[in-house]
Structure 1
Amino acid sequence: MTDDVTTWTAPRASLDLVLVAYLHLREDDALAVLTRAVGWLRPGGRLLVLGHDVANIEAGVGGPQEPAILHSVAGLAPVARLLAVDRLEQVRRQTPAGIALDTVLWGRRTA
């Protein structure tokens, strides 16, 4: 059985951690998935989102080359507003081919 990440769901307030790593969807779909993911978290639960940053196309190596599916700090801001954010930033990652640019969001659902 397979599920589609854009429609799959978990019970509300049932998870301690949701990790979304290198999931690249168009902005509307990404925001819908991530907003739902915040709802899956128990109070105090954590959300970690990590993915290729849109600036990686020009200033990094590897990753998708379609800007419409890449992350950015501004693009994740609507999700960040739903959390107590510890980190929302562009980060550099060393790869064998050179430096890649990613976006990271690490936050906690408040009570």
Structure 2
Amino acid sequence: MSGSVDRPRLTVEQYAREGSWVVAARGELDADSIAPLDRATQAAVAAVPTLVVDLGAVTFADSSALNLLLVLHHSTALRVAAPQPQLMRVLHVTGADRVLNIYPSTDHACAAQA
């Protein structure tokens, strides 16, 4: 028997900061792993006026992530923080970078004026 431990492919942390609610994802975002981020962001949409989704620690993202961001964009004042180059490329190729409010860091996203 191996001593390895199954670890979730995605973890989510949430906290209030500068009048925004931050949901920070860490790991891989795909159809099989996105549920924790989806639950956290949907709960936030119902409770807070400004949502920052921190993607700085996301190592992989597919169309599931893109879809979630676009749905959130239509549901709340969404700020996307620190998307990594792979996700930024997807956002650029699809034109989503022209629709979403994208910031280089969580600090910038939280400090931005509505």
Larger fraction in strand: 1
Whether the TM-score (by the shorter chain) exceeds 0.5 is no
TM-score band (shorter)?
A: 0.3 to 0.5
Larger fraction in helix: 2
Report which structure shows greater RCO (CA 8 Å, sep ≥6): 1
TM-score normalised by length of structure 2: 0.39
TM-score normalised by length of structure 1: 0.40
